[in-house]
Amino acid sequence: MGIAGLLPALKPIQLTRHLSHFSGQTIAVDAYVWLHKGIYACATDLATGKPTHKYVDYAMHRVRLLRYHNIEPYIVFDGGPLPAKRGTEVSRKQARDEYLARGNALAAQGRHSDARECYVKCADVTPQMAYQLIKALRAENVSYIVAPYEADAQLAYLERIGLADGILTEDSDLLVYGCRTVLFKLDTNAATVVSVSRKDFGAIAFPSSEISLVGWSDVQFRAMAILSGCDYLPSIPGIGLKTACTLLRKWKTVNQVVKVLLLEGKKSVPKDYLKRFEMAEKCFLHQRVYCPLSEQLVHLADINGEEWNDEYDAYVGR
């Protein structure tokens, strides 16, 4: 889900660029996006168990498109669920099962296009699908990696250590992880992407944007994102992106912001909010990723003398 409202707020620095702009570069790609979109081409087949590899074709078509423009893709797959995020999976599975049953019922009545709508809703990217894509990638010598946990952190790591020059995804979270160049909305017909560069953050200012990032460090930007609500921590009710930005501009740090909110007493701040904020920050900073150079698990960013303990490891992955 990413950071609600962040991409629209970054509109002033979004650049639509032709793929040739990235010629000679390696772009790390979130495989989930392609697999998920590829489902639309074959939702009925997947739901009814009919063998299909259309979703593989869909992804490979994009791989070839990038290569045609002399971009080397580096495909990143999700791994296991992060301890920090466990919990939402069960209800989703139930919802999917219901759509599958409804789809089957409609199909039995011959209402095939109605059935297809249900099949699309029950479709899920499975490890088996990821494996099929991996086989196709291998056959064409495309680099890929399976993240120990979340693809987002792994993508950020590849860019950080220089194995990728940018990230192709649909998720604004990548900017919170610290990525320098994030590409969104690949248009295969026009061969374009929407590019957002971290170095342009300073140009985000009132009144052309809802928020101002002028003079902000990564710490403050990340604080705003987490404060406004992210995958690791829901926001304090009533605080969205703009309020988070305003509060941080005024009070500088999250500690101060929370202190002021408690003093005012208008918002209901969860009692352990600061602690949970800290944990969310750890996920964005130090989530466990795989280093293809040293061939071992590492933290996204090194822990340089920062306080660290077993509880953190349990949260960001081991």
Judged by the rule CB under 7 A, the positions of this chain that interact with DNA are 1-2, 5, 7-8, 36-38, 40-41, 54, 57-58, 92, 95-96, 120-121, 124, 170-172, 188, 210, 228-229, 235, 237-244
CB of 183 to DNA, least distance (A): 14
CB of 222 to DNA, least distance (A): 17
Q: Between residues 172 and 181, which has the closer beta carbon with respect to DNA?
A: 172
Q: Between residues 145 and 186, which has the closer beta carbon with respect to DNA?
A: 186
Q: Which of 218, 238, 241 is nearest to 228 (CA)?
A: 241
**Which region, left, alpha or beta, applies to residue 215 given φ > 0 means left and ψ of -120 to 50 means alpha?**
left
Rounded to whole angstroms, the Cα distance separating 69 from 116 reads 35
Which residue type is seen at 254? Answer: V
Q: Which residues pair with 288 in a beta bridge?
A: 299
Indicate the SS3 state at residue 66: helix
User: CB 196: neighbour CB atoms within 10 A?
Assistant: 25
Rounded to whole angstroms, the Cα distance separating 56 from 242 reads 40
Q: Between residues 21 and 96, which has the closer beta carbon with respect to DNA?
A: 96
CB of 117 to DNA, least distance (A): 8
Q: Between residues 166 and 229, which has the closer beta carbon with respect to DNA?
A: 229
CB of 94 to DNA, least distance (A): 10
Q: Between residues 196 and 300, which has the closer beta carbon with respect to DNA?
A: 196
Q: Between residues 24 and 238, which has the closer beta carbon with respect to DNA?
A: 238
CB of 41 to DNA, least distance (A): 4
CB of 119 to DNA, least distance (A): 11
Residues in the chain: 318
Q: Which of 33, 50, 31, 34 is nearest to 42 (CA)?
A: 50
Give, for 218, the enclosing helix (H) or strand (E): helix 218-227
